[in-house]
Amino acid sequence: MKDSGRLTAPGSLLKGAVLAPAGEDLGQLPDGSDSLADLAAQYGLRPSSARPGLLAYIGLVWQRRHFIAAYATARNVSMYTEARLGQLWQVLTPLLNSAVYYLIFGVLFKANRGIENYTAYLVTGVFIFAFTERSIVVGSTVMRANIALIRALYFPRACLPLAYVLVEFQQLVLSLVLQATFNVGAALIMARLGAGAQDISQLVPFLLRVWRYFCGVMYSIASLPATLPEWAKGVLSLNPAAVYISLTRYAIMETERANAPGAKPYNAAACHIFNVKKIPQLQAYCHPSITINELWVAGIGWAIVTLVVGVLYFWQAETRYGRG
């Protein structure tokens, strides 16, 4: 070895590896150095707890994109290794949930009124909401669950919630970019909240369970009773989970596009019959509470705003999680 000696101090090197000359007493400051800060500056060191700038931090996360993908894939593969059906449970679990919701809402509560092809409608809603639900739940526990890894190695802590969202994204057959973007931001926000208070992790599943019933997973928001004000239907339709569920249904279900309110010229008589008898095909003659263009605008807006807020919020707390 051409270079010998010891590292001058723990921390990140700004100018490559800097070694103290062999035999030098590190207990004394060399001539010309008035303080440890001057000595650190001389050798290009910075405090190990210093938070990098936002753009630099995003760059560090991008540099570890292969780690994020490999970590997510490894967790995805290991998740069901001890189960006989293995990866099949990724599909079986939401399908079983869909069957339960079908019996409760479709058979008992007749929520299938006004919906053509209710089975596909329900399964799509369950799959899409489950993606967001699991992303937020794991985001609220990811920092505490991986504290050993955090203390052992140094890497941008945002890699963990990103990897966990990627696990959920791999389990969803359809590539839903906007929803994945929203989920990344939500997971980053919950990762910071969950790291500071364990009660948050206990409360999140309950709040998500309530949220599930307000976003049209098991029923059609447009088919709700006509006595419900239009503004209330609009609020329900524009909540982020409902937006992404609706966009996916419109994309993969022809009946949803054909029967969507506003798909045909307004007809007061036909719309009145729909409100009374809930015949799916007549819904197309009603005025829409929210148009498909408004859904796209809402979907893009929710994705961008949540991602930006999540990145900034998590980046501000990066140094709280310690270094390896």
Q: pLDDT tens, 169-179?
A: 665 544 467 78
Query: Does residue 45 have a pLDDT over 80?
Result: no
Q: What was the pLDDT predicted at 15?
A: 43
223 close to 278: Cβ distance less than 8 angstroms? yes
β-pairing, 12-13 with 19-20?
A: unpaired
Determine what percent of the chain is predicted with pLDDT higher than 90: 12
pLDDT of residue 205: 87
Q: Has residue 30 got a pLDDT over 60?
A: no
Report pLDDT for 309: 93
- Provide the token pair at 80: 């069901």
Q: Quick one: pLDDT band at residue 1, thresholds 50, 70, 90?
A: very low
User: Mean pLDDT throughout 104-120?
Assistant: 86
pLDDT at position 211, please?
92
Mean pLDDT, rounded, for 151-160? 79
**How much is the average pLDDT of 60-67?**
88
Instruction: Determine the average pLDDT of the residues in 124-134.
Output: 84
Average pLDDT of the segment spanning 214-231 = 85
Query: Bridge-partner residues for 46, per DSSP?
Result: 12
Do residues 37 and 28 lie in contact, with contact meaning Cβ atoms separated by under 8 Å?
A: no
More confidently predicted of 312 and 171? 312
Q: How confident is the model at residue 236 (pLDDT cuts 50, 70, 90)?
A: very high
Average pLDDT of span 263-291:
89
- Tell which phi-psi region holds residue 278, choosing left (phi > 0), alpha (psi between -120 and 50) or beta: left
Q: How far apart are CA 67 and CA 76, in angstroms?
A: 14
Give CA torsion, residues 263, 267, 272, 274, to 10 deg: -30
Distance set, CA 138 to CA 10, 135, 166, 235 (Å)? 32, 6, 11, 27
Region 210-237 average pLDDT: 87
pLDDT band at 83 (very low <50, low <70, confident <90, very high): low
Is the Cβ–Cβ distance between 234 and 290 less than 8 Å?
A: yes
Q: Is 245 exposed, middle or buried (0-12, 13-18, 19+ CB in 10 A)?
A: buried
Task: Report the C-alpha gap between 28 and 11 in whole angstroms.
Answer: 19
The better pLDDT of the pair 25, 189 is held by: 189
pLDDT of residue 179: 82
Tell me the torsion sign for CA atoms 37, 41, 44, 49.
Answer: positive
Asked whether residue 196 carries a pLDDT value surpassing 70, the answer given is yes
Q: DSSP 3-state assignment of 254?
A: helix
* Mean pLDDT lowest among 35-49, 188-202, 274-288: 35-49
Say whether pLDDT at 182 is over 50: yes
The CA-atom distances, in angstroms, between 130 and each of 14, 171, 208 are: 43, 10, 10
pLDDT above 90: residue 108: no
User: What is Dmax (Cα atoms) for the chain?
Assistant: 95
3 or 167, higher pLDDT: 167
